[in-house]
Amino acid sequence: MSKKIVTFGEIMLRLTPPDNLRIQQSRVFLANYGGSEANVAISIANYGGEVDYITRLPENALGENCITELRSHNVGTRNILRGGKRLGTYYMEKAVALRNSEIIYDREGSSFTDLQPGMIDWHSVFEGASIFHWSGIDASLTDGLAAVCEEAIQVADEMGLTICCDINYRKNLWRYGKTASEVMLPLMQHSDILFGSEGEYAKILGIPAPGFDSKSAADGIDRYAYDSFCKEISKSVPRCKHIYIALRNVLSSEHHTLAGALHSNGTTKFTRVYDINNIIDCIGVGDAFVGALLYAHTVYDDDQKRVDFAAAASALKNTIAGDYNMMKAAEIESLVEKGESGEVSR
């Protein structure tokens, strides 16, 4: 049986001021490429999984650089479309001490946002694949892209693929006249695997979240509250077999606690709490969770192992600069096996 995974989304140029400068202070920016579903694909490939990435890139040097970057991480690029006018960009100002991070998107009119139904041959894209992954960012950008997501999901369903959705709610992106719930809820009904933070589930489904408030690795999780929360989610998306929730408590810009939960077969499994000090870069932490859970679904049958691997990968991403999780599967498994300590320091 094939274990190939297909992810779909926009890869962008990330520009970051160095040395914790604010955007208006900097005359030099560090350049990286990243985007949620590309980050997921790179994580999967980094663990040794087979993955293809689907997007649309301009026919210029930036588009070529993106393809070179993806190939350098062993991500399949043969189905990437070329065309359109420009590569999407975002500016990332890192959180420092009391200052929150700030992101400025410059992606309107990009090659990806101009995609329309009928432009991608999804039957060809999904040939030989077992899992299709998409996210709410794709559907948030334009009405046309929401229709492309629906088109892809329908073909994936027809071809018998497992469908994974990351809610990936970004309030600043939903600007074309429809609410996130209005668009996402019907699309999520086709999901076999769902991922989101508790706040994202609450936003889309209207179910109050318990609120994760652990302050250290020694603190526990309110298992009864989250089991009840997961059961309410399951009622809203009855087809979904695996509901993953990322739990995070931001104590300061450099100190977070993190855990994970997975609801399947009527029961909820929990990871230990990770206490993460001296965070280097928290961009892509959710993507690291998703990449790890998708890889775990191809190598583990045990749900506890799947969610443990995903949460450990997400915790370790906080120690790595840039959008991608550059940890190997053996390094993540080593953290899981330590068991007795949830501290992640640099």
Q: How many CB atoms lie within 10 A of CB 316?
A: 21
Alpha-carbon distance of 318 to 322, in angstroms, equals 10
Instruction: Say which range, 188-197, 245-254, 306-315, has the weakest mean pLDDT.
Output: 245-254
Query: Which H or E run contains 242?
Result: strand 242-252
The domain spans of the chain are 4-344
Give residue for tokens 């600043």: 172
Residues with Cβ < 8 Å from 228, sequence gap 6 or more?
A: none
Q: What pLDDT is recorded for position 343?
A: 60
For 190-205, what is the mean pLDDT? 98
Residues with Cβ < 8 Å from 6, sequence gap 6 or more?
A: 51, 52, 53, 54, 125, 126, 129, 131, 132, 133, 161
Alpha-carbon distance of 162 to 192, in angstroms, equals 6
Supply the Cα-derived Rg of the chain in whole angstroms.
Answer: 19
Please tell me whether residue 315 adopts helix, strand or coil conformation: helix
Q: DSSP readout, 35-78?
A: -HHHHHHHHHHHTT--EEEE-EE-SSHHHHHHHHHHHHTT-B-T
CB-CB contact of 256 with 283 (8 Å): no
**When comparing pLDDT for 322 and 259, which is higher?**
259
CB-CB contact of 139 with 146 (8 Å): yes
**pLDDT tens digits, 203-244:** 999 999 999 999 999 999 999 999 999 999 999 999 999 999
Q: What pLDDT is recorded for position 253?
A: 85
**How deeply is 47 buried, as exposed, middle or buried, from its count of CB atoms within 10 A (0-12, 13-18, 19+)?**
buried
**pLDDT tens digits, 118-170:** 999 999 999 999 999 999 999 999 999 999 999 999 999 999 999 999 999 99
**When comparing pLDDT for 308 and 338, which is higher?**
308
For 180-190, what is the mean pLDDT? 98
**When comparing pLDDT for 242 and 254, which is higher?**
242
Helices (H), the chain: 36-46, 61-72, 122-125, 136-141, 143-158, 180-188, 198-205, 223-236, 285-299, 303-317, 329-338
245: β partners = 196, 261
Alpha-carbon distance of 259 to 226, in angstroms, equals 12
Q: What pLDDT is recorded for position 346?
A: 47
Q: What's the half-sphere exposure (Cβ side, CA atoms, 13 Å) at 260?
A: 30
Nearest CA to 35 among 283, 321, 316? Answer: 283
Give residue for tokens 């229709």: 147
| Biggest CA pair distance of the chain | 54
Q: Could you tell me how far CA 146 lies from the centroid of its own chain?
A: 17
Alpha-carbon distance of 290 to 196, in angstroms, equals 9
131: β partners = 5, 162
Mean pLDDT of the chain: 94
The answer, yes or no, to whether residue 97 has pLDDT greater than 80, is no
Please tell me whether residue 137 adopts helix, strand or coil conformation: helix
Here the tokens at position 317 are 């991403």
For 314-340, what is the mean pLDDT? 91
Alpha-carbon distance of 4 to 49, in angstroms, equals 7
- Report the predicted TM-score, pTM, of the whole model to 2 decimal places: 0.94
Q: Please tell me the CATH code under which domain 4-344 is placed.
A: 3.40.1190.20
